[in-house]
Structure 1
Amino acid sequence: MTRVLALDLGTSSVRARVYDENAAPVGGAEPQVPYEPKSGLADAGELLDASRGVVDQALGAAGPVDAIGCSAFWHSLLVLDERERPLTPVLTWRDLRSASYAEELRARLDPAAVHARTGCVLHPSYWPAKLAWLRGEEPGVFRRARRFVSFPDYLLLRLTGELRVSLSQASATGLYGRSGWDEELLEVLDVEPEQLSPVSDEQVGGWFPPLGDGACSNVGAGCVTPDRAALMVGTSGALRVVRPDDGRPVRAGLFLYRLDEERVVEGGSLSDGGNLHAWLERTLRLPGDARVADREPDGHGLTFLTLLGGERSPGWHPSAKGAIAGLTFETQPLDLLQAALEGVAYRFAEIADLLPEVREVVATGAALDANPEWTQILADVLGRPVFRGVAEGSSRGAAVVALERLGVEPPA
């Protein structure tokens, strides 16, 4: 029986699980190590040690596997020196220090053309702005850089001795087009192609190069057709579809990444999700059992603009700020919580309006697991059936793709 291990590198934890040829988890350890990036920065050594640890524990408990697949957070950037040692922390999408450099790039380049070529907008979540920031604010680091990689590239390098990046991860950097690394952006940023990882999905040392976590989430939830979207609310949020790559251009306001050579991932992302709920719990000192399910929809009279983390889709304004309108002396903490959950749902609706082919939605994510009433709010606002997805969708998706590449066709 074919078995694979899936390593899941999320934005707040690292975990590993072994799956059988039906993409069902097998018995044994399911180790997990939590971590918390500070101000959008993560420690590469800490993540590397955590990844090694959970993989060793899972294999020690479940025994040998035929291959290892990996789901890893998109958009990270790490600078390596001549000896391939980190010169910086891992810069995640939440590191928005490069916002002014994104504006400069938008003024210098044709933003619509860059979006059309790369599937990504000029925004501080992506590599072009971050690389421009490094060159401007950390010139010594930029000059010493031998490699610009994502953390998943670095992980693969340390575990197998070979450097490569999957097509899925490369496509979400904002620096990669249909024919390879984007020449205009490389020239503007003063980056040589040799400083970037070779792009390959070929297995190395028993590992398949890590895929983007959003792509894996769709696969794990069975959302691999244009009419079935995966909606995720974890720390942040995203609504995505997987469809065949038929050459259609990316739509305004959305991103277009790749799952593999044949399939693309199109959708939108939000900076406010479970992090907003956690902020409200801390700030308002809400009890852990605070619920809004029995309350009248929009009965609080509030409008909550959920942009506390800036805007990604569809407007991509990193400096956008959140706002609450309609406050009175009668406003209660639960009113604010309900307005926030509804506000996030309406942000998702803006993305869904750009994906009119979507007929049903599968909802996943730890924030929805902790707040099941949020799923009903999403269904009411989206006006589409919303079903709860499998737990650990990204992990299962990495396992499914690994099995496919081994020649096994697991059930959807």
Structure 2
Amino acid sequence: MTTPLEDVALSDALDPLVLAIDVGSTASRGGVYDATGRPVAGLRHKVRHAFTVAPDGTSEIDPDQVTAEVVEIIDAVTEEGSLGTRIAGVAMDTFAASLIAVDADGRPLTACLTYADSRCAQDVTALRAELDEPAVHERTGTRIHTSYHAPRLRWLARSAPQTFAAAAGWWSLGEYVYRQLIGVDAAGTSTAAWTGLLDRRTGELDAELLEAVGVRAEQFSPIHDLADTVLPAVAPRWPALAEARWFPVITDGFASNVGAGATDPTTMAAATATSGALRVLLPHAAHPVPLGLWNYRVDGDRTLLGGALNDVGRAFAWATSTFRLEEDLDPLLTAPPSTATPLVLPYLTGERAPHWAGDAQATITGVTAATDSAAMLRGTVEGIAITYARVVAELGPAAPEAVRMTASGRVSNDHPDWLQILADVLGRPVTHVTLKRSTLRGTALLALDVLAPDALRAPRPTGTTYEPDGGRADYYADRQRRFAEMYDAVVGPGA
């Protein structure tokens, strides 16, 4: 076990300093990091928020609210008088994908649609019938799914034609915030890739998809790699940022992998926050892309291969609240498996990887009069682990060098014993990366790779490596078989 990543006093911090901002599903947060990647003590701020959701699949947030949160964060972390102008860079990540229609003056015509908004499910079906989805997948690295722009744009054209016609631009949340703060229109390569419209081989927007949904390339912001770009930012509100370079906004998934230390093809990183993902960073595009996964271009020739889960922390929280589990959860997670545990498909907000069934719903079977709250939670957690395993099965052939597995994020930090279940289901060791705010630190590290490439970075803190219990292999193999059978019966084979 390594020592924790300790905060460093401002007086001891090594220049250059970086201000990193992370806009996540449940909060916006920001902090200052020194050249080693250590957080600077006292220069951190967080503002909580929540998506607006509805039974029809609505999942959105007010972009002006998020802009105000980012302003509050920058105000809070730059008010320290002794900071001077030591901050050399500002970098931001946001949840992905997000979509806002804006007018010619950059004012929002819609709320920000989040990755979990599924109101365009009907348009997914229509586009899959019209287009050659395997060809789209091979070009863009993404499926036609509710998480991506093509069906969302088609839905807006159908449900709000006047708004669609009035839109001068289609921006991500980060692009909108940057326009308000520094007057710049720019999208990081990874942000553009998460729209599902970017050709992962050329770095250009895909002409066939744009035509299919009735939009133009000039309605999207210019695309920039981090290493090649210094944005012409003007931010007079913050004298502490007078010398800072502003980097194009990136996605939380890219930053999460970097923060967890999964920066080469040998390491898979399981992100375990409100939503989740399993990713490996490759030095090239994957050919072919496994049907159940995405392969996003993130910068230069690098791509991120993996799959996302809508419901990880969300499923934990739902089960804990719904089944009124107020006691310590550790005994429920460390107990040996039981055949009396219900089988759970944990799709509260639809499925992404590996079968991309946007309208999938949670399903529970095996409930009897003897089933208690603890069993319901345990079944939910096992369902989450099995969903990760289904992504791993797709990823393995395309990334044969990925032999190590890490897990980071709020769920693993709050309930580390759940990683034993994950290791048992996967049949491989899982190392807990105990770092808090790993996505935020990853965003800082990506900026530092440009500003201070030769500085020695502080090592990531790790905890227990959970080894699989061979005596449980048969149990979890049977659970995975039954999970697949239930999935085929309820959601549909090859959904």
Q: Which runs of 5+ in 1 are unaligned?
A: none
Aligned to 2:264: 225
Aligned to 2:438: 393
- Cα distance change on mapping 1:148 and 1:231 into 2, 3 Å: same
Aligned to 1:345: 385
- In the TM superposition, residue 279 of structure 1 has moved relative to its aligned partner by 0.9
Q: Does 1:286 align with 2:305?
A: no
Aligned to 2:209: 185
- Tell me the number of residue pairs that the alignment of Structure 1 and Structure 2 aligns: 412
The 8 Å contact of residues 21 and 408 in structure 1, kept in 2 or not, is answered as no
Amino acid of the residue matched to residue 59 of structure 1? T
- In the TM superposition, residue 232 of structure 1 has moved relative to its aligned partner by 1.0
Aligned to 2:360: 320
The 8 Å contact of residues 416 and 432 in structure 2, kept in 1 or not, is answered as no
Aligned to 2:335: 295
Q: Which piece of structure 1 moves more, 99-108 or 375-384?
A: 375-384
- Cα distance change on mapping 1:246 and 1:253 into 2, 3 Å: closer
Amino acid of the residue matched to residue 156 of structure 1? Y
C-alpha distance in 1 between matches for 2:78 and 2:334: 45
Secondary structure of 2:306's counterpart equals strand
Aligned to 2:297: 258
- In the TM superposition, residue 261 of structure 1 has moved relative to its aligned partner by 1.0
**RMSD of aligned Cα (Å):** 1.4
- In the TM superposition, residue 277 of structure 1 has moved relative to its aligned partner by 1.2
Q: Which piece of structure 1 moves more, 33-42 or 284-293?
A: 284-293
Aligned to 2:71: 52
Aligned to 1:104: 126
- In the TM superposition, residue 239 of structure 1 has moved relative to its aligned partner by 0.5
Aligned with 2:408 (options 351, 364, 372): 364
Secondary structure of 1:188's counterpart equals helix
Amino acid of the residue matched to residue 106 of structure 2? E
Aligned with 2:182 (options 157, 160, 185): 160
C-alpha distance in 2 between matches for 1:194 and 1:153: 15
Q: Does 1:17 align with 2:31?
A: yes
Aligned-pair identity (%)? 36
C-alpha distance in 1 between matches for 2:302 and 2:38: 23
Q: Which piece of structure 1 moves more, 206-215 or 367-376?
A: 367-376
Amino acid of the residue matched to residue 47 of structure 1? V
- After the TM superposition, which residues 110-259 of structure 1 pair with which residues of structure 2 at under 5 Å, given as runs? 110-177=132-199, 178-179=201-202, 180-201=204-225, 202-204=229-231, 205=233, 206-246=245-285, 248-259=287-298
C-alpha distance in 2 between matches for 1:324 and 1:95: 23
Aligned to 1:306: 346
Deviations 1:94-134 (A, max 9, x none): 11000000110000000101111111110011000100000
C-alpha distance in 2 between matches for 1:28 and 1:52: 17
Q: Which runs of 5+ in 2 are unaligned?
A: 1-14, 54-58, 234-244, 460-495
Aligned to 2:450: 405
Secondary structure of 1:66's counterpart equals strand
Deviations 1:5-61 (A, max 9, x none): 110111111011111111111122311000001121000010000011112211223
Misfit runs of 4+, over 4 Å: none
Aligned with 2:426 (options 378, 382, 398): 382
C-alpha distance in 1 between matches for 2:285 and 2:100: 32
C-alpha distance in 1 between matches for 2:359 and 2:23: 28
- In the TM superposition, residue 355 of structure 1 has moved relative to its aligned partner by 2.1
- Cα distance change on mapping 1:246 and 1:176 into 2, 3 Å: closer
Amino acid of the residue matched to residue 163 of structure 2? V
The 8 Å contact of residues 334 and 417 in structure 2, kept in 1 or not, is answered as no
- In the TM superposition, residue 247 of structure 1 has moved relative to its aligned partner by 5.7
C-alpha distance in 2 between matches for 1:294 and 1:192: 53
The 8 Å contact of residues 334 and 418 in structure 2, kept in 1 or not, is answered as no
TM-score (norm 1): 0.97
The 8 Å contact of residues 359 and 385 in structure 1, kept in 2 or not, is answered as no
Aligned to 1:28: 42
Secondary structure of 1:320's counterpart equals coil
C-alpha distance in 1 between matches for 2:292 and 2:24: 25
C-alpha distance in 2 between matches for 1:298 and 1:164: 52
Q: Which piece of structure 1 moves more, 240-249 or 344-353?
A: 240-249
Q: Which piece of structure 1 moves more, 192-201 or 284-293?
A: 284-293
Tell which structure's C-alpha radius of gyration is larger.
2
Secondary structure of 1:354's counterpart equals helix
Aligned to 2:467: none
